[in-house]
Structure 1
Amino acid sequence: MATGTSPKRWQDQLVLILGIWIIISPFAFAYPYGAGGAINAYCSGALMVILAAVSLAGTFSWAVGINVLLNIWLIVCPWVVNDIPDTSFDANEIAVGIVSIILLAWEVQAHPELAKFGTRTRIG
C-alpha cells in the first residue's frame, strides 16, 4: 500500500471503479451511440468518478451526498430514459446504483463525521 493511503477509503475506490464501469457499459452492452441511455451512462459515470475522486482527495462530505443522489438517479433512470428497452442494460444501472449507495452508506456509517453535510473532514 502506498504511503498516505488508507484502507478505510476502499468504499470510495470501489465507487470510482463502478463509475468507470458505467461509462464503458454502453459499449459492453452494444447500446446505440447517441441513445439517451448511453448519454446518461456517460454523464452519470463521469460524475460518479469525479465525485469519488474528490471524496478520496479530501473527504468532502458534500461529494458523498451528491454521489448518493446521483446513484438514486441511476436506479430511477431506466424508467425515465427508456428510449431503447434493454433489460440487461437497465439491470446493470440499477445494480450499480444500489451497490454504490450501499458502499457510500457504509462509508458514512464508518465515519460519522461524513454525515455532517457541507463539511470537509480528513480521514485516515
Structure 2
Amino acid sequence: MSRTFQGRLGRAYLTKEVCNEKLGDEEDRQLMTGLHTVCDLYCRPCDTLIGWKYIRAYDKSQQYKEGCYVLEKSTIFAIEHPDRPQKPLLPVSPPTLDNALARFMSDVGIQTSGDRSMPWR
C-alpha cells in the first residue's frame, strides 16, 4: 500500500485489493499524472464514493497503477473485528489510521513486504 497518493479530497492510498466494493462505469479521466481509464469506487454497503480503480494508464511510466485502487483517506472508517466488542462506526483520526489499516490487512491475511511504499512488489 502506498500512502503518498493524492485523491480528489486530499491524501489517498494506492492498494491492490479492496473488499465490499462496487465499481462505476469506465471512463477516460485526465489526472495529475496523465490520461487514465478509471472507474469510480463505491462502498457496497453504503454506496459512498470512496475512490477509483485504475483500469488503464496511457503513459508507460504509470502502468504500474493498472488494476490498483485509490482510497480517499477521508472516507476510510474503522470498525471492530466481529469477535471483539462492537463500537459505534467513527472516523479514524489521522494518528491511528495507519494502525487501523495494518490491523485490517492482517485480519484479511494480506502480507506486506519491507518496502512500505509498494508492499505487493
TM superposition score normalised by structure 1: 0.27
Larger RCO of the pair (alpha carbons < 8 Å, separation 6+): 1
Structure holding more strand per residue: 2
With structure 2 as the length reference, what TM-score do the two structures score? Answer: 0.27
Which protein is richer in helix relative to its size? 1
